[in-house]
Amino acid sequence: MSGSGDFDSGRILAMAKGKSPWGGDGDPAQADPPVSDGEGGDPPADEPAPKVKDDSRNPWLPPHADEPARRSANIEDIFRARGGRGGGSPAPGTGRNWLPLVLAGLIAAWIGGTSVHVLAKGEQGLVTTLGHYHRTAGPGLALTLPWPLQAVTTRNTAKIEETVLPAQEGENLMLTRDRQLVDFGFKLRWRVTDLQRFAYASPSTAAVIADIAQAQALAAVAELPLDGLIEGQRRAELQQRVASRSQAVFDTLKLGVRIEGAEVTRAEPPAKVAEAFRKVGLARQEARKTVAKAQTFVQQTLQKASNEAAEFESVYLQYQAAPEITRKRRYYETMERVLSANPTVIVAGNGVSTTVAPAPVPTKSGTPATPATGGQ
């Protein structure tokens, strides 16, 4: 109890001296004026001058009479304070005037850029609404709802596209009818006729076209011999088979594609046996030349024999009509043919003979040959 009494008496004593009971100075307006030790109201020399307390920062005291009432800062005060620090922001009201114009320009560009579409000649546009097919637009001006409500995917349907197989470098070995391997390559030309079917038939319709063409080429090569493919006699037939069969499959699957043609780019033996095939090819060419030469000789011999038989038939008919005359004529003709190339010897009565050369016979070059002459 004595301790509590001492605390209370100390607190009362502090308040009596103008101090706060929590250790601070009390209210200077309510504190007792200092006791002067002399005239003039000066404080005693042994006491320090009293401290004047600034109560303008005390949140618990009301504001002074000459200070306006305080209020909370709003959002405009915050932005105004930031703009005054040199941030470069426009003054209040300036940005508000330009903002509607900027927004209107952006909206107009968005609508115009995604709603107006110009398709060139030969192009078609696939119009989709929220990802679903809506219609197919032709060449010219096409109007749609702005993106993302509607979108247009264009494609040149007049362009002839090509599928080259094999797609990668290297051999593309196929088995022929005579169980031989051939390195085969070809090119398929096609174009899109129905854009909707082409776009929705498969996620990758071009890859499906390549797979179908490869399968049909395998089937067509298996029906033809190796020689016909390598030497080229059966290539046109092969191209026709691949094109017609591939088109039939495309129509069945409704791919919206029409084949414009097929072309064999190579049909060669495998690289490992290419040299052997080259030698075999040379031997075959030589055999063909020999056969052709023999056939020519046969034709010439047959023609000569036929002419001689016809001549004999003609002479025989003449002989039947006039045997004696025909016999003499044939005798003189034979003697003329035999003796025309021999020199003529004339023997005089006194034992002197003279040799007369036969008439000159024209040579192949057109210059008459001069036979040798002599006498005894």
In angstroms, the CA 169 to CA 318 distance is 79
Structure-token match 């044939």, residue found: 330
Task: Pick 338 or 262 by higher pLDDT.
Answer: 262
| pTM, two decimal places | 0.51
Question: Which residue in 284, 238, 281 sits closest to 263, CA to CA?
Answer: 238
Average pLDDT, the chain: 75
Contact 212, 186 (CB under 8 A): no
Other CB atoms within a 10 A radius of the CB of residue 21 amount to: 11
In angstroms, the CA 72 to CA 78 distance is 11
Other CB atoms within a 10 A radius of the CB of residue 119 amount to: 18
Angle at 284 between CA 278 and CA 285, to 5 degrees: 90
The lowest-confidence range among 14-18, 114-118, 174-178, 287-291 is 14-18
Residue 57 has pLDDT above 70, yes or no: no
Would you give the DSSP letter of residue 360? Answer: P
- Which H or E element spans position 209? helix 205-221
Instruction: Quote the percentage of the chain above a pLDDT of 90.
Output: 19
Q: According to the model, what pLDDT value does residue 31 have?
A: 45
Q: Give the pLDDT band (50/70/90) at residue 3.
A: very low
Q: According to the model, what pLDDT value does residue 267 have?
A: 86
Q: Give the pLDDT band (50/70/90) at residue 1.
A: very low
The backbone torsions φ and ψ at residue 145, rounded to the nearest 5 degrees and listed phi first, read -70, 155
In angstroms, the CA 338 to CA 346 distance is 18
What superfamily does domain 161-269 belong to in CATH?
Band 7 domain (3.30.479.30)
Residue 70 has pLDDT above 90, yes or no: no
In angstroms, the CA 268 to CA 171 distance is 10
The backbone torsions φ and ψ at residue 343, rounded to the nearest 5 degrees and listed phi first, read -70, 155
Other CB atoms within a 10 A radius of the CB of residue 315 amount to: 12
In angstroms, the CA 124 to CA 5 distance is 104
Q: For 125-146, how does the pLDDT look when each residue is reduced to its tens digit (9 = 90+)?
A: 888 888 888 888 878 787 778 8
Q: According to the model, what pLDDT value does residue 20 have?
A: 52
Question: Which residue in 144, 146, 141 sits closest to 119, CA to CA?
Answer: 141
| String of DSSP letters for 72-139 | ---HHHHHHHHHTTT--PPPTTHHHHHHHHHHHHHHHHHHHHHHEEEEPTTEEEEEEETTEEEEEE-S
Contact 258, 249 (CB under 8 A): no
Terminal Cα distance for the chain, rounded: 197
Q: Which residues, at least 6 apart from 222, have a Cβ–Cβ distance to it below 8 Å?
A: 174, 175, 176, 177
In angstroms, the CA 58 to CA 223 distance is 107
- Which H or E element spans position 11? helix 2-16
Residue 208 has pLDDT above 90, yes or no: yes
Angle at 363 between CA 357 and CA 367, to 5 degrees: 85
> Where are any strands of DSSP class E within the chain?
116-119, 123-129, 132-137, 140-143, 150-156, 161-165, 173-175, 181-192, 257-268, 344-347, 353-356
Q: According to the model, what pLDDT value does residue 165 have?
A: 87
Contact 165, 210 (CB under 8 A): yes
Domain locations along the chain: 116-156, 161-269, 273-328
Characterize the bridge pairing of strands 344-347 and 257-268: unpaired
